Amino acid sequence: MTIEEIQNEIIDEFAMFEDWEERYQYMIDLGKTLPLIDEQFKTEDHIIKGCQSKVWVHADMDNEKVNFTADSDAVITKGIIAILIRVFSNQHPKDIIEANTDFIDKIGLKEHLSPTRANGLVSMIKQLKLYAIAYQTQLN
Amino acid sequence: MMSVAEKHMMLDVESIRKDFPILNRKVNGKPLVYFDNAATSQTPQQVIDVIVDYYSNYNANIHRGVHRLSQEATDAYEQSRLKIQQHFNAKHPYEIIFTSGTTHGINLVASGFSSLLKKGDEIIVSALEHHSNIVPWQMLCERTGATLKVLPMNENGELILSEFDSLLNDNTKLVFVNHISNALGTINPIESIIEKAHEVGAAVLVDGAQSCPHIKPDLQGLNVDFYVCSAHKICGPTGVGMLYGKEEWLNKLPPYQGGGEMIAEVTFDKTTYADLPHKFEAGTPNICGGIAFGAALDYMNSIGFDAITQYENELLEYGTNELLKIEGLKIYGTAKEKTSVISFNVGNIHPYDIGTILDKMGIAVRTGHHCAQPIMDFYQIPGTIRASFMFYNTKEEIDTFISALKKAVLMLS
């Protein structure tokens, strides 16, 4: 699936919910499906700065596709990073770099997009794209 | 039958709430429950009116203006300085310096002490401080070679006063402590700290940012050397505060910033500085904010600090008891003397998660380390949820908060 297809799939899933409670509950549940980062990578240099909770992300590339693993000590943050990783994992670095992230607004999580928001969703997207840029450089 | 004194102490919260337009708004479709007062207090209509009146009728630059508007603005600004002097019981109005807030006041004093300290001198900070009352002093130590020592705290979040004696010696030049801890709500024994510090000739700076909305201090009675606070913690606007310094100390400190307002005479050879308080008030100040600061004090005094304290203590006791009924909830900061701030965690749930869910239900609390990382390190936690009450909050709001919190815990467990 392309990044856009995955995003549309997520938009459809969230459209089933009527209120914030169900959306947040689903996001928390999605956090439980997150491909967890190997404990050895839970180090200072894998932490995404700008989050009130801790978020660690690790990336590797296989067959020109980037794969992400992550973890967080807060469950809502874990749900958010899980959604992002579902969108960006197993994709070509160039597609990750060029992807837009408007779907966040469409699943009712717009409030998390504010740059001042303590969970740092903006920082997370930036970090995932930075990994992609680094791998794209290797491919060039 | 209630005695006259008891009646006088009663606080009519329903009518008080009508003074605060923001308390009528909804957040995420729910009535706002504002429990983030320790970060900033809300503003009553009486203060908002003063701000509107200033910009509508007499906005002008102050001091030296010969025209009518400038005179009116100058009079109102200086009138506000007198109100602040009287409220905090300073000896002279010129001992009150308008600042942009507590942090500005602390930096002004820390900068001034650069020329008064030398290598081998010692300064003492309490373990309960906000970063703003730590970092400027660390920078001062870097500039002067002085040493920073820490007055430790116990598990309840109280300063261990017996340790203070062993930290004090003839090299101690300055002690700084907050009156009330922003992270835990502990009321610190500043009277004893000031007395002991003075015995070795050290000056004391009290950070009153958290105490000013709850306790009306008698600065002369306390015999404190410096006191700083912010208007926005006491129902005034942001971006304005005050530094009190004893006249002899303010005369010892060099000016903080150069510019207009702070000079007596300027030539390219030499500039002589203005007298207090203008020596420390370079540039055009927050004129409207300064005037509104005075209006905020008028408002607080019209309610009365005795009534405020009594009512807020009731809220603290009620809130504490209700919170402790929640399984796995732990309160950080259980000092005998504390104000209406409750810092807590529930089990292993991250404070950020709880804060986010509470926000969805219209409840404003603060989560995180509260700019007091050393305290969080002491308890070995990433942060807490902090609910802080003011006199315009109610027990009904606490009930709403408790049921929302229970729901959040259920969702997050």
Q: Confidence band (pLDDT; 50, 70, 90) for B8?
A: low
Chain A environment of B368 (Cβ under 8 Å): 52, 118
d(CA B364, CA B356): 9
State the pLDDT at residue A114: 59
A51 is catalytic: yes
> What average pLDDT score do residues A55-75 get?
95
CA dihedral B23→B24→B27→B29, nearest 10 degrees, is 150
Are B325 and B291 in the same domain?
Answer: no
A49 has a pLDDT exceeding 80: no
Residues 6 or more apart whose Cβ sits within 8 Å of residue A49: A120, A123
Main-chain phi, psi angles of A34, to 5 degrees: -60, 130
Q: How many residue pairs bridge chain A and chain B with CB atoms within 8 Å of each other?
A: 41
Examine the fold and report which residue of B245, B275, B301 is the final residue of a domain before the chain moves on: B301
Contact check, Cβ <8 Å, B411/A25: yes
Are B143 and B255 in the same domain?
Answer: yes
State the pLDDT at residue B370: 84
d(CA B42, CA B37): 7
**pLDDT tens readout for residues B261-286:** 787 888 888 888 888 999 999 899 99
Residues 6 or more apart whose Cβ sits within 8 Å of residue B108: B97, B99, B243, B253, B256, B280
d(CA A115, CA A138): 30
Contact check, Cβ <8 Å, A76/B352: yes
Domain holding B83: CATH number?
3.40.640.10
> What average pLDDT score do residues A74-93 get?
94
d(CA A115, CA A123): 8
Contact check, Cβ <8 Å, B352/A25: no
Tell me which residues of chain B, numbers 19 to 58, contact chain A at a CB-CB cutoff of 8 Å.
Answer: 28
A61 min Cα distance to partner chain B (Å):
32
Are B79 and B145 in the same domain?
Answer: yes
Are B266 and B350 in the same domain?
Answer: no
* Full 3-state SS string of B347-361: CCCCHHHHHHHHHHC
Residues 6 or more apart whose Cβ sits within 8 Å of residue B349: A75, B409, B412, B413
Examine the fold and report which residue of B250, B266, B301 is the final residue of a domain before the chain moves on: B301
Report the share of chain A in percent with pLDDT over 70: 93
Are B240 and B376 in the same domain?
Answer: no
d(CA B170, CA B121): 9
Q: Confidence band (pLDDT; 50, 70, 90) for B320?
A: very high
Q: How many of the other CB atoms lie within 10 Å of CB of B24?
A: 10
B352 interface with A at CB cutoff 8 Å: yes
**Nearest Cβ partner for B382 among A24, A73, A118:** A73
Main-chain phi, psi angles of B77, to 5 degrees: -65, -45
d(CA B211, CA B215): 5
Instruction: Give exposure, A73-98, as e/b (b: 16+ Cβ within 10 Å).
Output: bbbbbbbbbbbbbbbbbebbbebbbe
For residue B303, the SS3 value is: helix
Query: Among candidates B390, B97, B47, B88, which has minimal Cα distance to B240?
Result: B97
Find out whether A72 and B349 touch, Cβ atoms under 8 Å: no
Q: Which amino acid is at B186?
A: T
Contact check, Cβ <8 Å, A76/B353: yes
> What average pLDDT score do residues B185-202 get?
97
Task: Supply B376's token pair.
Answer: 């969080």
Place of tokens 């919170």: B323
Are B88 and B201 in the same domain?
Answer: yes
Catalytic residue among A27, A48, A51, A125: A51
Domain that residue B246 falls in: 48-301
Instruction: Give exposure, B330-344, as e/b (b: 16+ Cβ within 10 Å).
Output: bbbbbbeebbbbbbb
Find out whether B96 and B242 touch, Cβ atoms under 8 Å: yes
- H-run or E-run covering B103: helix B102-112
Place of tokens 């020596």: B279
Q: How far is CA B272 from CA B246, B254, B269, B376, in A?
A: 21, 12, 10, 47
Helical segments of A1-140, H only: 3-15, 20-31, 75-88, 93-98, 103-106, 121-139
Nearest residue of chain A to residue B350 (CA atoms): A74
Contact check, Cβ <8 Å, A53/B352: yes
Query: How far is CA B396 from its chain centroid?
Result: 26
Q: Which amino acid is at B179?
A: H
Find out whether B127 and B378 touch, Cβ atoms under 8 Å: yes
> What average pLDDT score do residues B171-175 get?
97
DSSP, residue by residue, B305-353: HHHHHHHHHHHHHHHHHHHHTSTTEEEE---SSB-SEEEEEETT--HHH
Are B123 and B260 in the same domain?
Answer: yes
Are B363 and B281 in the same domain?
Answer: no
Are B261 and B327 in the same domain?
Answer: no
B266 min Cα distance to partner chain A (Å):
44
User: What radius of gyration do chain A's Cα atoms show?
Assistant: 14
Domain holding B385: CATH number?
3.90.1150.10
Are B58 and B142 in the same domain?
Answer: yes
Are B277 and B137 in the same domain?
Answer: yes
Report the share of chain B in percent with pLDDT over 90: 86
Overall pTM surpassing 0.80 (yes/no) = yes
Q: Confidence band (pLDDT; 50, 70, 90) for A113?
A: low
Task: Supply B98's token pair.
Answer: 């308008």
Are B229 and B204 in the same domain?
Answer: yes
**pLDDT tens readout for residues B386-411:** 999 999 999 999 999 999 999 999 99
d(CA B149, CA B128): 13
Total domains in the fold of chain B: 2
> What average pLDDT score do residues B118-132 get?
93
Q: Which domains does chain A have, with CATH numbers?
A: 3-139 (3.90.1010.10)
**pLDDT tens readout for residues B240-267:** 999 999 999 999 999 888 877 787 888 8
d(CA A35, CA A48): 17
Instruction: Out of B131-140, B230-239, B314-323, pick the least confident.
Output: B131-140
State the pLDDT at residue B266: 83
Contact check, Cβ <8 Å, A74/B28: no
> What average pLDDT score do residues B74-98 get?
98
Examine the fold and report which residue of B301, B318, B352 is the final residue of a domain before the chain moves on: B301
Evaluate the omega torsion of the peptide bond into residue B31 and state whether it is cis, within 30 degrees of 0: no
